[in-house]
Structure 1
């Protein structure tokens, strides 16, 4: 796959916007719900799963290495910068090591199971089921 400058720019701008969105949503949710559980990261990852499903339903899932500009900008850039597996992993590990194994397991289950359901819902809402 040849990656041109315009593709890199789409991903970079999208990633910057997604990262700023992640910071804003995480801070807002944490202020409202507290920091005893990583609610902000959970909300970011679940809302990102919903939007990812919607994008896949609207644009289709790429089957080759040639990605459209919309897919690069939205799925790779914005959603790649918005959602975060690293924060999820570190926060889950921290919960476990801090003596909250049920919260850690709850975070894994909520992120993975609800995330999958929301991705499917997003795909369905976009008309991907047609």
Structure 2
């Protein structure tokens, strides 16, 4: 990557982080200490889209795969928020929700990535 492409990747990461905040805020509006469904949705959607980008790899220039995948979708998805939300749930006595949050994030995000890769592969055929 050249300097301009790295700058584009960083800018895309900022856009992704802003989009993550917006989606989470919309989903969680008025829900307070509820299950962190906004972050779960962000991670599933981001995994699906990253899988799609990977599946489209044959028709997508590698630099764009990096800018969109690592930059935009890397900024959009968040493992740290899942970790923190799970710890906070456990501290509030909602250990079952903490386990569900971790398991659902892992299983559904991986499944979404697989689906995205399959769809992307079908598109490039």
- TM-score where L is the length of structure 1: 0.85
SS at match of 2:56: helix
Aligned twin of 2:50:
52
2 CA distance for matches of 1:9 and 1:42? 28
The CA deviation string for residues 81-101 of structure 1, in whole angstroms up to 9 with x for no partner, is 100111111011111111111
Aligned twin of 2:77:
83
Aligned twin of 1:7:
5
State the Cα RMSD in Å: 1.8
Point out where structure 2 has 5 or more consecutive residues left out of the alignment. none
- TM-score where L is the length of structure 2: 0.89
Runs (4+) off by over 4 Å: none
Aligned twin of 1:26:
24
SS at match of 1:44: helix
Aligned length, in residue pairs = 121
Q: Does 1:125 align with 2:119?
A: yes
